[in-house]
Amino acid sequence: MGDTANERESQKMEFQAEVKQLLDIVINSLYTERDVFIRELISNASDALEKFRLLSLMESDFRDKHLPLEISIETSEKEKTLVIADTGIGMTREELIENLGTIAHSGSREFLKRLAEGDRGGAQLIGQFGVGFYSAFMAASSVRVLTLSYRPGAEGWEWTSDGTGSYTISPARGLSRGTRIIVFLKEDAGEYADPLRIKRIIKQYSNFVPFDIKVNGEKVNTVQAIWTRSKNEIKDEEYNEFFKFLTNSFTDPMYRLHLSSDAPIQLNALFFVPAENPERFGFGRLEPGVNLYSRKVLIQQNARDILPEYLRFVKGAVDSEDLPLNISRETAQDSRLIKKISRFLTRRLVSFLDEEASRDVERYRLFWEKFSMFIKEGCVNDPDNRDQLARLLRFQSSRAGSGEEVSLAEYAGRMKENQKAIYYLNGPSREIIESGPYLEAFRERDIEVLYLLDPVDDFVMTALREFQGKKLVSADQADLDLPPVEGGNSDRGDALSPEEIGSLAAWMREVLGDTVSDVRESRRLVDSPAMVVNPDQVLTTSMQRILQAADKGYGGIGPKVLEINPRSGIIIKLARLRKEGADGEFLRTCVEQLADNAFLAAGLPGNRGNMIDRMYRIMERALEAGPR
């Protein structure tokens, strides 16, 4: 640079008009957190170091070759100052004016106009030195910048300003390569002279900057951003230690997924599944656990848009140099691109869990025990990934032993040749399901039934509707299309004739009134005398139970059909006693009790207010009859 007399003297200069506007916006409204000015100054220092590192590979003639590439921060609570220095590329006088006195970029006026109109996602100035630098004035009463370019023969310069309307540039001697920023703190910003506060901010925002950051001589960023390294270079112990640092956990993660991608955007991601789920112990709803970085600098902690809500248990980091950010670097700008990234990462995570479920069945069993609620939530709320999420579901079943669980794929793989649907039944326990009447038809046909022991499972099945082309059907539905029994029904014993069962059903319908919507012959029951079935093909009986428990004002459990077994001894005797003209009142009591028993077996309330008294009356009548 050719020196002139004017350049060697102190010179006061006015900020460019656009810079004055930008300063006002930065100081008063651009950033949501004051702490981020530390992040911005460190990011600028890191950029200067990275530029020097690249230039030093291409050029051999530069000054102060002995200096380590690092960022040093000094605090003075007595002087109320904060100093951030780097050994990077430095600046010449012209670069100081360009970077700190003007916005030397096309479209600057349009950019400021959009900012003034409230558009914080305007022109892309992230990475340019000036914009982040101005954030210092949120906490500074004045700022001094001392800088020396890496170029041989360059002179040092000092830039000073109080951020109001002008700045001064003066020659400075005795400098080393790089830039030193001295922040004179405002009266209400004294906490930024506290080294502990600075260390906390660094660990939050800048912990993974690729150059050493020292606060009063002590290195602060001791953890590497391992997500940017090759998977082949990283040991399990490093992954585990990083997870513990990220989550403040004392245990190793259950799973990890480390991936890189060049499309739809260049990114690196590292995800962990913790060993435990606090939500199942009642500790409240988890916050999203993935942090968003750009070039290893934290942009958004617990980012809400990177993964869907149901994957909030996943911890980790996503980093992209190409991510378009708004001017304050606090949110991503292109929502469409973020959605593409989210879709890609979500599909990859779900696919990874499916792969792990096949690779290590026992470990996945532990995962399912602790995190199944999130997968079920995803099945209901994420139609785009529903089919893949369905592969992750696990249920007990009539074919599996107690405590064992099967996948929908396993069930589908062993379906009978003439079986048209995947059948399931919801209940509070395996024992209650197996003691009820609904499995009789399936046992007789040797058809597997999935046991849904979680109330939300019915909503999951309703959301899925089918799996691998097979419909998912509740076993308590009316009009099930079951295959015929092998060998027929000839060995079932005595049964009422069609006329007898028709007459009995009509009379029972009259007795029960609005309690049921219909009474008809059952083609499913084997041993039980009766059961209620649900004619609603969408809202299953168990779903109605949930709705009624959640909302006391819910309008009933919906219509139910009472099916009666023409081969049951109770039904046969009831029909014949009625035909013989036996005590009509007693028979009506038996019908009411029969219906209430069927409702009880279905887990539905029925008319329980009169049930106990009615049972006592039936017992009294039985005792009067005496032994036979």
- 285-301 per-position pLDDT tens digit: 999 999 999 889 888 88
Q: Are residues 321 and 250 in the same domain?
A: yes
Indicate whether 149 pLDDT > 90: yes
- The least confident of 44-48, 216-220, 433-437, 545-549 is 545-549
pLDDT recorded at residue 605? 65
Q: Are residues 159 and 38 in the same domain?
A: yes
Indicate whether 567 pLDDT > 90: yes
Residue 4 belongs to some domain of the structure: no
Q: 186, 219, 252: which is the final residue of a domain?
A: 219
Indicate whether 99 pLDDT > 80: yes
Indicate whether 400 pLDDT > 70: yes
| 62-93 pLDDT per residue, tens | 988 899 999 999 999 999 999 999 999 999 99
Q: 219, 241, 276: which is the final residue of a domain?
A: 219
Indicate whether 5 pLDDT > 60: no
Higher pLDDT, 170 or 265: 170
> Any bridge partners for residue 289, and if so which?
315
Q: Are residues 600 and 528 in the same domain?
A: yes
Residue range(s) defining the domain that contains residue 56:
11-219
Rounded Cα distance, 602 and 433, in Å: 9
Nearest Cα to 42, choosing from 322, 332, 269, 329? 329
Q: Are residues 113 and 38 in the same domain?
A: yes
Q: What is the mean pLDDT of residues 137-164?
A: 94
pLDDT recorded at residue 121? 42
Q: Are residues 347 and 402 in the same domain?
A: no
Nearest Cα to 508, choosing from 567, 588, 583, 602? 588
Arithmetic mean of pLDDT over the chain: 87
| 490-502 pLDDT per residue, tens | 455 688 999 999 9
> 3-class SS at 144?
strand
- The least confident of 70-74, 343-347, 535-539, 580-584 is 535-539
Rounded Cα distance, 252 and 423, in Å: 38
Q: How does residue 129 score in pLDDT terms, banded at 50, 70 and 90?
A: very low
Q: How does residue 157 score in pLDDT terms, banded at 50, 70 and 90?
A: very high
pLDDT recorded at residue 105? 42
- The type of residue at 498 is P
Between strands 156-161 and 140-148, the pairing is antiparallel
Indicate whether 403 pLDDT > 90: no
Share of the chain above pLDDT 70, in %: 86
Q: What is the mean pLDDT of residues 469-489?
A: 83
Structure letter (DSSP) for residue 215: E
Higher pLDDT, 538 or 443: 443
CATH number of the domain within which 584 lies: 1.20.120.790
CATH number of the domain within which 101 lies: 3.30.565.10
Q: 361, 384, 413: which is the final residue of a domain?
A: 361
pLDDT recorded at residue 328? 64
Q: Are residues 527 and 431 in the same domain?
A: no
Q: Are residues 43 and 170 in the same domain?
A: yes
Residue 161 belongs to some domain of the structure: yes
| SS3 of the chain: helix, strand, coil, percent, to 5 | 45, 20, 40
pLDDT recorded at residue 300? 87
Helices assigned H by DSSP within 12-107: 17-25, 36-58, 93-101
pLDDT recorded at residue 389? 98
| 188-227 pLDDT per residue, tens | 999 999 999 999 999 999 999 999 999 999 999 988 999 9
- The type of residue at 226 is I
Q: Are residues 136 and 19 in the same domain?
A: yes
